[in-house]
Amino acid sequence: MPNRSSLAGRLSPIPLFIGSCLISLSGCGGHPSVTGSVKFPDGSPLTVGEVVLDNGSIMGRGSLDENGGFVIGFTRPGDGIPAGWYHVGIINASRAGMTDWLIDQKFLSPQTSGLRFKVSADRKNELLIVVTPPGPKKR
């Protein structure tokens, strides 16, 4: 049976350090989390659709729940998204396909919504969005 002190002397700290670094990177998705909610001006929640964060090369999304809440996912639901600036939009916010929109159509695309959000690597990222209902239908 090997002597403990001689075995410990033969183990290098470098592999242990590399292993702990890999565990910390793969741990919680590796990206900052983004949570939030979508509400109308009267405080009622938007409960249908998905919030999309898009910076032109990276896109994250999160489905709205019954309270208007969401959690952004980059590769899978809730795994966060890399830090940086993003345009924000809300997709699939309709009752019947693409005919009965629940929000003003400007919010349906990150490029037209006028909303931007900075995801920070070193703080809690909470995005609160206020949307307006669609205007009167044109005949």
* Partner residues linked to 88 by β-bridges: 53, 115
Residue pair 48/93 in contact by the 8 Å Cβ criterion: yes
This prediction has a pTM of 0.74
Q: Model confidence at 84, in pLDDT bands (50, 70, 90)?
A: very high
Q: Model confidence at 97, in pLDDT bands (50, 70, 90)?
A: low
Domain definitions of the chain by residue range: 34-130
Q: Model confidence at 71, in pLDDT bands (50, 70, 90)?
A: very high
**64-92 mean pLDDT:** 92
User: Does domain 34-130 correspond to CATH entry 2.60.40?
Assistant: yes
Q: Model confidence at 114, in pLDDT bands (50, 70, 90)?
A: very high
Alpha carbon distance 90, 50 (integer Å)? 5
Instruction: Provide the pLDDT for residue 124.
Output: 87
| Per-residue CA distances from 67 to 37, 50, 71, 96, 122 (Å) | 8, 13, 12, 20, 27
Q: pLDDT tens, 2-60? A: 555 444 444 444 443 444 333 333 334 478 999 999 999 999 999 999 999 999 999 99
Q: pLDDT tens, 120-135? A: 998 889 999 999 999 7
Q: Quick one: which of 90, 98, 79 has its CA closest to 53?
A: 90
DSSP E strand stretches across the chain:
34-39, 50-54, 59-63, 69-71, 84-91, 115-119, 125-130
